[in-house]
Amino acid sequence: MRKFNVAVVGATGAVGEEVFRVMEELNFPVNKVVPLASARSAGSTIEFKNKDVVVLELTETVFEEQEVEIAFFCAGGSISEKFAKFAVEAGAVVIDNTSHFRMDPKVPLVVPEVNPDDIGLWRETGIIANPNCSTIQMVQSLKPLDDLYGIKRVDVSTYQAVSGAGKSGMEELVKQMQDFFAFRLDETEIKAFAHQIALNVIPQIDVAMENGFTKEEMKMVNETQKIMHKNFEVAATCVRVPVLRSHSESLTVTFKDGVDVDVNEVRNALENFENVKVIDDLPNKKYPMPIISTDTDFTYVGRIRKDVYAPNIIHYFNVADQVRVGAATNAVRIGLKWIELESDM
């Protein structure tokens, strides 16, 4: 198999670091890796396949100079906005982990298990967008159910880990818990989130929109419809919880009128879907939890039950590691699928 020169922009951040790990684990066909970061981080090293690789400064010319063919962008929307075009002009395909290009009608928004064919649309802009972390794990569980019965509406509440806000979010939770045990929580620093996150939940992620939802909630609505090429209704409530890693979601799915849900059919559809695992044994206290999903590449689904009142409604709970499934692993899977499609041309 041909090997590629692969750049990772934001190489020293949480997602960038994870991209290197996932590439190694999934045997990504790498000729050389090109870690890129700000001038402040340039000169430091990252580890890839037991070798230290020096981080280079992200510049307008570095993609051409390093003959980059695949560029993973993991450094924030403003960086993608400024530098993605230079990677494309150098002949690379850009796989962007930020929100900047997601709703651009010319840019495919891809979860490889759900809409792999959309990757073929990359040629128009040279860019493939990686969806929001919460959207990815949700559509992985919605796709087999939509294929089974046809979805009319989705209501979802998320329980999102602090690492969704980056390393600073994780550090703040740990520091606040240390302050709690030192009896000085009332003096603790509140910086990464609007409120204290230790021993608390915060029912707001991202900024408020005019319609009363948050930007994060509307991302889930709009991205789900774009990925699945469906206009079914979606309503989301996104909540930050004091968990270090892995997002959880409680979903209520309403199927088309006339559907009489068979829970066993639902369970089988989920069990047979790529990269979804079902853990659903309530009497024996077995169900998905963040401590199960963290550091894995699967979306776990459980607590599957039919609505008490309406025959066309199902409820369930899903969990996934949002740094991996919700960012790095999905990006690397897009890259692998892109290589597969390009080699078939």
pLDDT in tens, 23-68: 999 999 999 999 999 999 999 999 999 999 999 999 999 999 999 9
Residue 41 known to bind ligand: yes
Q: What is the pLDDT of residues 100-127, one digit of tens each?
A: 999 999 999 999 999 999 999 999 999 9
Residue 164 known to bind ligand: yes
Residue 184 known to bind ligand: no
Residue 323 known to bind ligand: no
Given 100, 133, 195, 229, the catalytic residue: 133
Maximum CA pair distance of the chain?
63
List, for the chain, all residue ranges whose pLDDT scores fall below the cut of 50: none
Q: Give 107's contacts (C-beta < 8 A, 6+ positions apart).
A: 101, 121, 124, 125, 127, 128, 129
133 is catalytic: yes
Exposure string over 100-114, b if 16+ CB within 10 A, otherwise e: bbbeeeebbbbbbbb
Alpha carbons 130 and 138: distance in angstroms, whole number: 14
Token digits of residue 112: 């490889």
Residue 140 known to bind ligand: no
Given 74, 100, 238, 247, the catalytic residue: 247
Can you give the pLDDT at residue 250? 98
Can you give the pLDDT at residue 342? 87
74 is catalytic: no
Residue 40 known to bind ligand: yes
Domains contained in the chain, CATH given: 4-131+327-344 (3.40.50.720), 134-322 (3.30.360.10)
Residue 267 known to bind ligand: no
Residue 21 known to bind ligand: no
Contacts 24+ apart (CB under 8 A), 267-271: 267/304, 269/144, 269/145, 269/147, 269/148, 270/141, 270/144, 270/145, 270/301, 270/304
Can you give the pLDDT at residue 41? 94
Can you give the pLDDT at residue 345? 62
State the helix-helix crossing angle for 133-149 and 263-271, rounded to 10 degrees: 130
Residue 322 known to bind ligand: yes
